[in-house]
Amino acid sequence: MDLVTFGETLLRLSPPGQERLERATELEFRAAGAESNVAVNAGRLGADTAWLSKLPDSPLGRKVTATLRAQGTEPDVAWSETGRQGTYYLEQAGEPRGTNVVYDRANAAVTTATPDELATERVDAAEYFYTSGITPALSETLAETTAALLERATASETTTALDVNYRAKLWEPEEAREVLETLFPDVDVLIAAERDARHVLAHEGNAGEIGRGLADEFGFETVIVTLGADGALAVHDEDVYEQPAFEADTYDAVGTGDAFVGGFLARRIEGGDVRDALEWGAATAALKRTMPGDTALVTREEVEGVLAGGGAAINR
Amino acid sequence: MDLVTFGETLLRLSPPGQERLERATELEFRAAGAESNVAVNAGRLGADTAWLSKLPDSPLGRKVTATLRAQGTEPDVAWSETGRQGTYYLEQAGEPRGTNVVYDRANAAVTTATPDELATERVDAAEYFYTSGITPALSETLAETTAALLERATASETTTALDVNYRAKLWEPEEAREVLETLFPDVDVLIAAERDARHVLAHEGNAGEIGRGLADEFGFETVIVTLGADGALAVHDEDVYEQPAFEADTYDAVGTGDAFVGGFLARRIEGGDVRDALEWGAATAALKRTMPGDTALVTREEVEGVLAGGGAAINR
Amino acid sequence: MDLVTFGETLLRLSPPGQERLERATELEFRAAGAESNVAVNAGRLGADTAWLSKLPDSPLGRKVTATLRAQGTEPDVAWSETGRQGTYYLEQAGEPRGTNVVYDRANAAVTTATPDELATERVDAAEYFYTSGITPALSETLAETTAALLERATASETTTALDVNYRAKLWEPEEAREVLETLFPDVDVLIAAERDARHVLAHEGNAGEIGRGLADEFGFETVIVTLGADGALAVHDEDVYEQPAFEADTYDAVGTGDAFVGGFLARRIEGGDVRDALEWGAATAALKRTMPGDTALVTREEVEGVLAGGGAAINR
Amino acid sequence: MDLVTFGETLLRLSPPGQERLERATELEFRAAGAESNVAVNAGRLGADTAWLSKLPDSPLGRKVTATLRAQGTEPDVAWSETGRQGTYYLEQAGEPRGTNVVYDRANAAVTTATPDELATERVDAAEYFYTSGITPALSETLAETTAALLERATASETTTALDVNYRAKLWEPEEAREVLETLFPDVDVLIAAERDARHVLAHEGNAGEIGRGLADEFGFETVIVTLGADGALAVHDEDVYEQPAFEADTYDAVGTGDAFVGGFLARRIEGGDVRDALEWGAATAALKRTMPGDTALVTREEVEGVLAGGGAAINR
Amino acid sequence: MDLVTFGETLLRLSPPGQERLERATELEFRAAGAESNVAVNAGRLGADTAWLSKLPDSPLGRKVTATLRAQGTEPDVAWSETGRQGTYYLEQAGEPRGTNVVYDRANAAVTTATPDELATERVDAAEYFYTSGITPALSETLAETTAALLERATASETTTALDVNYRAKLWEPEEAREVLETLFPDVDVLIAAERDARHVLAHEGNAGEIGRGLADEFGFETVIVTLGADGALAVHDEDVYEQPAFEADTYDAVGTGDAFVGGFLARRIEGGDVRDALEWGAATAALKRTMPGDTALVTREEVEGVLAGGGAAINR
Amino acid sequence: MDLVTFGETLLRLSPPGQERLERATELEFRAAGAESNVAVNAGRLGADTAWLSKLPDSPLGRKVTATLRAQGTEPDVAWSETGRQGTYYLEQAGEPRGTNVVYDRANAAVTTATPDELATERVDAAEYFYTSGITPALSETLAETTAALLERATASETTTALDVNYRAKLWEPEEAREVLETLFPDVDVLIAAERDARHVLAHEGNAGEIGRGLADEFGFETVIVTLGADGALAVHDEDVYEQPAFEADTYDAVGTGDAFVGGFLARRIEGGDVRDALEWGAATAALKRTMPGDTALVTREEVEGVLAGGGAAINR
């Protein structure tokens, strides 16, 4: 297995056509979560991926696994008789309303997941292990389980990657920093939005300084600072690599960051260097924005097409 | 106010076209609950109705109140910063699959509702107060609040009605019986499906015997035993009234019982006798079955049309 | 041209899934009218057909002509700067609710149509001319125009057919009878539902007696009495022909009568005798019931298949 | 009651996805009208609002009241056995096609509404009364009723507001000016699009000069000149206040003006000064543009968020 | 692997709501084929299943694999640069129209599939191998490949099952018989609809006689004769087992036969005897009829529920 | 007949909402092809048009003719018992994904169309005959038939127009050039995208030089070079006319070129000069971009409105 991820996948309920939830009479029904998104995105580009989690043994839990399998990632889950299936309601909107997320994820089955319930042997055997800062925010148990899996990965020489992915609706910045810093010793690749690096991890300066500062403070092998429309920057082996974003007509922005990580890791896994992987991350992220749902349902050829400069507006 | 009801209203998420949840990509989005259904149904037929509850202050809670207001019932709710909006997933299906409900209602805001948060003065001033056996099943707090509201209604000479509405996914029969029996002294009108009367309330014999037995044991003014396709039977002032069901092409069976109760109460409120009210209940229930959603969005003219024997298959 | 028809075609707005208009958030959008239905239905079976009318010069009027052309009938209309496009709202429902029609057709452009605006030369040249009792009900002008077209057809030796099609929402039985009887001298083929024959045309007895009575009283060449689920009966040249209905799983019953007439006329036009044409009418009507919309979008092969006794439930 | 409005609410039928009416097979089904839009919009921001009108007693009229109640405004209507439910067909389109409205509102029930049919006591008791220049354009009766209600409001010291809202498909500029000028003596707050101020009210100069000129000529307490993408300007107590528009990603532009008025009045009602109210109007208008339908289904928090400068593109 | 199947999976395009293809403006989009249906159906009940085939390397081919993976079967396919993705258009309809299939499957990639392109080692290792009479009908190459795979399975002591599945739109009965009879020596379990047994395989008598006749003639270990609404009958080890069909409210009948086979094989694989497996087949088939699509997306609990006699119409 | 066109019309299957085909569960279903698009577009603006082709005698072929008739063009087709209905799958997307077309058109019935099967007498009698470079790319037979029809048109003094319309998924540039150059002697009006003129026809220089070069080399009466967002340029009688594109909010870009040609030819047919016709082409193309589907379902008034400079964003 090239990449194993661990985290929560939610059912996503969203009104079509930028309608408000209050007035909607039907909802689009998808499944999505940072860690399964990354597994799917990397899997699309050639990596052999699996996602570990715990789900309720119900049609809702099965909706999650069916969705992930359809997209090419192998779900390896503990089926639970207790605990809910987490959901989130998504109201897509342009400015100045902005897209709004209403989480309904408390007491999800996954919040009680312990290492002994999970297929941890997959972590040992994987080349990469990935999780996000959302996972330890969900429960104390999950914070402990996340720590245990990262430790185990480190012990097995599995490279670990963690995206800070700060969610203001889940916890406070201080609490997030405290918990995340306990995990950092077992993290090889850190991904952080510039905003999170400033407000949660309390690093300052320009993006390069932030990246170097994080790398120095915690000894990460690679630090990626994502800059939204300005692209991303990586610090690796003391070098700084800058990657502008590709222009994209945004249809659905949710999951852009996970697409970046998925593209980056997929390229690293197949041997690309950091500069190369940043390009793949940026191209995958741009493609993601053109489609609905949280995942970048793309092909290698499409990513390569973006890197080659694109082509006709209509390909026929 | 003619009728005040109290209970939980859920968001109802159901795949169109008898699709399975696992495979569905969109869901119909409605709001429904036994007590608000009864308020809506009675309101459609002329009663002035309100529904008391507690809801999260979120787009989801507002979806509930918008839906009820649209259907003509006044929601009077405590808005809460804590607690979820309960939901249920509904897979409609014919035999032998049968319609399946997946509840996701634990920790709903309403489960912490106490009398002092609710507009209890509306209960005092109402002619009828209605709740169902679902409400006390949801939490200990709600069991207490239900008891308090029924007591208060009794003290104010508001007639009280309670539908046993046993839900096997919420509690065991014994637990249900124990709690319900503590409420019965403050109940004037009891509605119970024959099956619930047998398995939950432990009454035996034919439907008439069950009805009489319940009336005798607990001193109800009126007992209605519903018999599904066989209609219903009422015991009132020692007399037994039988009411066959009207034949109906069923489009959506959910809410049929609430339509019966809504029609029955609406007619009682405007002075109809028990026999008359049973007919209105049965006609409203039959109309309900022809439409999607949990409520009978009908007119008095339509109910009267059913009672008058129906007319042309196409009315033009 | 084998068949020319004249009348009003409405836009049909109907909630999907047996939803109520009050609660619907989307409507199916079609175009339909008795006379254009008959033209379409006959056209599908091989007749060369046209439909005469008057429409507002607007996207709504063009929706009507686009729909008819798509279904193979040539609309030949007077485009008007004044007058509305008539519509009807259709709530489909099973028993006991029944399907309900809400007409919104007052002041339609067609209500002012006079013979000089219409392509009356097509009536002269046609083998058959058809209209229904709805047309003269719509306005005094239309009653006069209907009379004029029937006269003109008679003068040109075009066979004329008229379906009584009584609409209780448009006029009273007495008024209908009075107007229709002025038209009957120019009608060769009369079609009447048994109910209309009784309540509007005031004929009594069994269906055969009604048919004979009408033929005798007004000298029709052919009288067809339609009997709903019991089929139809024709009186022609003193003979009575009975035709049972073919069993059908009804998806949408609206337009069944027009399908019968379309099938009947199509077969007569190509030389079928009355018995033969009755069978074609009944088969077309049965096929109509299996599909949405007011028209029988069928093929000759499908009609022949019904007459041959049907085949596999799944044809593959 | 803080705000009472009077006018016509139409059913809105629009093809999804910028399809043409001619080719559409389904239509979105909403209810909307300038005066009920304003009541809904102000109601969302905290005002207690009602809408007066006359509607046909039919599923179509009930669709209107259900929609308004769902959005939080109380409809107080005269139910009529005669007269239609007005509708409008809306083809949304970008440039150069532009959005096109096809009105089908002639002979609506409301066109015969007289003061004695309406709940005019609500006008007396309200803080604000609002109507638009569309209402008197619909019939002579409505012009008289509008005048009578404005007079009554003035007599009761209810502040009156009128939006010119010129509709070229309803009347000519000269006719509009003549009628509107008879109403102006009873109007306290005039809202006019700059274009209407020029072409209908025949005022010239820049927007400030137009506003001052109108205030001077008719003695309005407040004149608001709306400037489309350039925002709005108010003249009040001799002072001129300018308000730029907030940038918005437009999903549906219809109802932007009503959102401005609703936001403005809501803020005035709760004691905001003109400058403050202009900001609320502009923010509500910008939010409106991000959602489908004619109303701004927003919260106070969202308006305050716009005024505070907005936040993350995805709020999670 | 418990069960490996081989055959073609098509994209299924069907108008919603029993609309005709000619008039449809949208189509439901699924993937389905007899052999993958059987793999999915058996997989749902606990078997470990894979499906072998050849697909075009395109979004259409990927739609097929995504669909199968979502439903729990592993597709192991040869990706092809040439050859189409087969499709079929499905018009669902009640009687007398009947459901109609329009195949568009000529020149599909799979028609050129040879054993060396396929993961034939999976056939060797499987407990059961299944294909249908559709596969050899598609091309000469496929007839040869089917023969080769059956031979290989026999050589590996993999039990082989073949469903005659005669398709009149693909070949003539005589041609079918000739080809199928060459395959029969390597078939252990034959499934044949009674009609196909008569018209294609030319066996006569009652169902039991047909079953025995086939078993005798070709030496099958098990022969199942399916009887539509009358259930099925198995001849096994000289014994005849009869199994009535479970009553079902049919939502979509397509795939019923494959559900029967899937249920039968799943039970045989886990050690059930023939009688037991027939019951599982019948229950799975009945459940299939209640849902859209070609596969029975069911659980073991649901099948067991049918066998236990069903329960409440609404399970809550 | 003013304009006769000849070519293939495909069924167009596209996921709604920029979804990927792999994940789509429903598809929009339309019919479109360059030559029928041009006929429809010109027909909308007043020309009397017909489209010649060959179609399978199936619901799919009838979907094509129904669609064209609905849009006002007369299909005159050879109905075939053999050959498929061609389709194409369309994934709409913004940059950098771009819109992608998956053709499934091999072995379409039309690929075997010979002149004797077609209503070639319509070509003789028409004012204009139009086809595109797609048609000869589809089969050798069609290349011959295209040549024969162009010759016949020339012999009948029917003006001929051909749009190069190079499709990289159908043939190589060299092959295209070779075939097209054999057709050019019978072409009066050539339309070529600048890119095709360079890469396929191997002309160089700026657009004007390309246009002049083509006119000189092949003796075309008119050469139009289309320049995408930069508009178009015509060389006619030695003069060069430049036409900028009108700005358009693009909803669906497919068919823009055909809209240009349709507008151009319609104006030429009614006597407009080349400059005038270029304006009509550009305006029709801009309008096309605002709506879904391949055709410009517009009115003359709308085209004239664009030429007059547009108007209000909302026309009411």
pLDDT of residue E100: 95
Average pLDDT over residues A244-261: 97
pLDDT of residue D315: 85
Helix (H, G, I), strand (E, B) or coil at C50: strand
Strand pairing partners for C91? Answer: C100
Q: Identify the active-site residue in D186, D188, D258, D294.
A: D258
* pLDDT, tens digit (0-9, with 9 covering 90-100), for D23-32: 999 999 999 9
pLDDT of residue D104: 97
Q: Cβ separation of D70 and B70 shorter than 8 Å?
A: yes
Q: Which residue of E has its CA nearest to A301?
A: E58
Residues 6+ apart with CB under 8 A from E180: E133, E136, E162, E164, E200, E201
Percentage of residues in chain E having pLDDT higher than 90 = 97
* pLDDT, tens digit (0-9, with 9 covering 90-100), for B135-169: 999 999 999 999 999 999 999 999 999 999 999 99
* pLDDT, tens digit (0-9, with 9 covering 90-100), for A78-110: 999 999 999 999 999 999 999 999 999 999 999
Partner residue opposite B104 with nearest CB, options A27, A66, A84 = A84
* pLDDT, tens digit (0-9, with 9 covering 90-100), for B176-209: 999 999 999 999 999 999 999 999 999 999 999 9
Helices (H) and strands (E) in chain C, counts: 11, 14
According to the CATH classification, is domain D3-7+34-85+106-307 in 3.40.1190.20?
A: yes
> Tokens standing for D45?
């921001």
Partner residue opposite E25 with nearest CB, options F23, F29, F85 = F29
- For residue C29, the distance in angstroms to the closest alpha carbon of chain F comes to 15
Q: Cβ separation of A253 and D302 shorter than 8 Å?
A: no
Percentage of residues in chain D having pLDDT higher than 90 = 97
Range from A274-283, A307-316, E2-11, E148-157 carrying the lowest mean pLDDT: A307-316
Q: Which residue of E has its CA nearest to A64?
A: E70
- For residue B238, the distance in angstroms to the closest alpha carbon of chain C comes to 32
pLDDT of residue B311: 65
Q: Which residue of F has its CA nearest to C44?
A: F62
> Tokens standing for D309?
């400068």
Q: Cβ separation of A66 and E66 shorter than 8 Å?
A: no
Residue B253: its chain E contacts at CB < 8 A? 313-314
* Residue C243 pLDDT class (50, 70, 90 cuts): very high
Residue D19: its chain F contacts at CB < 8 A? 291-293
Instruction: Tell whether the model's pLDDT for residue E127 goes beyond 70.
Output: yes
Partner residue opposite E96 with nearest CB, options C246, C292, C293 = C246
Q: Cβ separation of D290 and A103 shorter than 8 Å?
A: no
| Amino acid present at F130 | Y
Instruction: Tell whether the model's pLDDT for residue B290 goes beyond 90.
Output: yes
Residues of A with a known catalytic role: 258
Percentage of residues in chain A having pLDDT higher than 70 = 99
* pLDDT, tens digit (0-9, with 9 covering 90-100), for F224-240: 999 999 999 999 999 99
> Tokens standing for B267?
């007619």
| Amino acid present at F201 | L
pLDDT of residue E312: 66
pLDDT of residue A129: 98
* pLDDT, tens digit (0-9, with 9 covering 90-100), for F173-193: 999 999 999 999 999 999 999
- For residue B239, the distance in angstroms to the closest alpha carbon of chain C comes to 29
Distance CA F310, CA F316 (A): 14
Q: Cβ separation of D106 and C107 shorter than 8 Å?
A: yes
Residues 6+ apart with CB under 8 A from A272: A280
- Strand A314-315: give its sheet, edge to edge: A314-315, F99-104, F87-91, F10-14, F26-32, E26-32, E10-14, E87-91, E99-104, C314-315
Cβ-Cβ pairs closer than 8 A, D with F, add up to 70
Cα-to-chain-centroid distance, residue E216 = 24
Instruction: Tell whether the model's pLDDT for residue E278 goes beyond 90.
Output: yes
Distance CA A218, CA F261 (A): 64
| Amino acid present at C279 | E
Burial of D245 (0-12, 13-18, 19+ CB in 10 A): buried
Distance CA A244, CA A307 (A): 12
Residue A25: its chain B contacts at CB < 8 A? 28-30
Q: Which residue of A has its CA nearest to E66?
A: A70
pLDDT of residue B246: 97
Residue E251: its chain B contacts at CB < 8 A? 17-18, 93-94
* pLDDT, tens digit (0-9, with 9 covering 90-100), for E65-85: 999 999 999 999 999 999 999
- For residue E108, the distance in angstroms to the closest alpha carbon of chain F comes to 11
Sign of CA dihedral A248, A252, A255, A257: positive
Q: Cβ separation of B30 and A25 shorter than 8 Å?
A: yes
* pLDDT, tens digit (0-9, with 9 covering 90-100), for C119-150: 999 999 999 999 999 999 999 999 999 999 99
Q: How far is CA F265 from CA D193, E256, F165, in A?
A: 41, 54, 16
Average pLDDT over residues D58-69: 98
The overall pTM is greater than 0.95:
yes
Which of these, B270, B273, B211, lies nearest to B240 by C-alpha position? B211
- For residue A119, the distance in angstroms to the closest alpha carbon of chain D comes to 30
Residue E70: its chain A contacts at CB < 8 A? 66-67, 69-70
CA angle B84, B86, B90 (to 5 degrees): 150
Residue D63: its chain C contacts at CB < 8 A? 21-22, 24
Q: What ipTM was estimated for this complex?
A: 0.96
Residue E246: its chain B contacts at CB < 8 A? 96
Give the CA-trace dihedral at C227, C228, C230, C236, to 10 degrees: 40
Give the CA-trace dihedral at F54, F57, F63, F68, to 10 degrees: 30
Q: How far is CA C103 from CA C252, D60, F247, in A?
A: 18, 11, 42
* pLDDT, tens digit (0-9, with 9 covering 90-100), for B81-136: 999 999 999 999 999 999 999 999 999 999 999 999 999 999 999 999 999 999 99
Residue E17: its chain C contacts at CB < 8 A? 16, 251, 292
Q: Cβ separation of E95 and C314 shorter than 8 Å?
A: no
- For residue C39, the distance in angstroms to the closest alpha carbon of chain E comes to 17
pLDDT of residue C316: 86
Residue E249: its chain C contacts at CB < 8 A? none
pLDDT of residue C313: 76
Which of these, D142, F192, A283, lies nearest to F203 by C-alpha position? F192
* pLDDT, tens digit (0-9, with 9 covering 90-100), for A153-181: 999 999 999 999 999 999 999 999 999 99
Average predicted confidence (pLDDT) for chain A: 97
* pLDDT, tens digit (0-9, with 9 covering 90-100), for D222-245: 999 999 999 999 999 999 999 999
Instruction: Tell whether the model's pLDDT for residue C311 goes beyond 70.
Output: no
E36 touches chain A (CB under 8 A): no
Sign of CA dihedral B276, B282, B286, B287: positive
Q: Cβ separation of B18 and E292 shorter than 8 Å?
A: yes
Average pLDDT over residues D287-309: 97
Instruction: Tell whether the model's pLDDT for residue C6 goes beyond 70.
Output: yes
Average pLDDT over residues C4-13: 98
Residue C305: its chain E contacts at CB < 8 A? 96
Exposure pattern of C146-157 as b/e (b: 16+ CB <10 Å)? bbbbbbbbbeee
pLDDT of residue F313: 77
Kindly state the helix (H) or strand (E) to which residue C258 belongs, with its residue range: helix C256-269
* Residue F316 pLDDT class (50, 70, 90 cuts): confident
Q: Cβ separation of B69 and D67 shorter than 8 Å?
A: no
Helix (H, G, I), strand (E, B) or coil at D278: helix
Partner residue opposite C23 with nearest CB, options B246, B286, B297 = B297
C280 touches chain E (CB under 8 A): no
Instruction: Tell whether the model's pLDDT for residue F208 goes beyond 70.
Output: yes
Contact criterion met (CB below 8 Å) for D224 and D264 = yes
Instruction: Tell whether the model's pLDDT for residue F274 goes beyond 80.
Output: yes
* Residue F311 pLDDT class (50, 70, 90 cuts): low
Average pLDDT over residues F57-84: 98
Q: Cβ separation of B96 and E293 shorter than 8 Å?
A: no
Q: Cβ separation of D22 and C59 shorter than 8 Å?
A: yes
Percentage of residues in chain A having pLDDT higher than 90 = 97
A69 touches chain E (CB under 8 A): yes
**Would you kindly state where each structural domain of chain C is located, as residue ranges?**
3-7+34-85+106-307
Partner residue opposite F22 with nearest CB, options A247, A297, A302 = A297
Instruction: Tell whether the model's pLDDT for residue E313 goes beyond 90.
Output: no
E positions 162-191 inside 8 Å of C (CB): 167-169
pLDDT of residue D312: 65
Kindly state the helix (H) or strand (E) to which residue F195 belongs, with its residue range: helix F194-199
Is-catalytic flag, C116? no
Q: Identify the active-site residue in F2, F186, F196, F258.
A: F258
Q: Cβ separation of C29 and D24 shorter than 8 Å?
A: yes
* pLDDT, tens digit (0-9, with 9 covering 90-100), for E283-292: 999 999 999 9
Kindly state the helix (H) or strand (E) to which residue D211 belongs, with its residue range: helix D207-218
Q: Which residue of D has its CA nearest to B65?
A: D70
CA angle C183, C85, F65 (to 5 degrees): 95
Average predicted confidence (pLDDT) for chain C: 97
Instruction: Tell whether the model's pLDDT for residue E202 goes beyond 80.
Output: yes
Residues 6+ apart with CB under 8 A from D271: none
Q: Cβ separation of D29 and C26 shorter than 8 Å?
A: yes
Residues 6+ apart with CB under 8 A from D206: none
> Tokens standing for A193?
């939005």
Q: Which residue of D has its CA nearest to A229?
A: D313
pLDDT of residue D311: 65
Q: Which residue of A has its CA nearest to F21?
A: A297
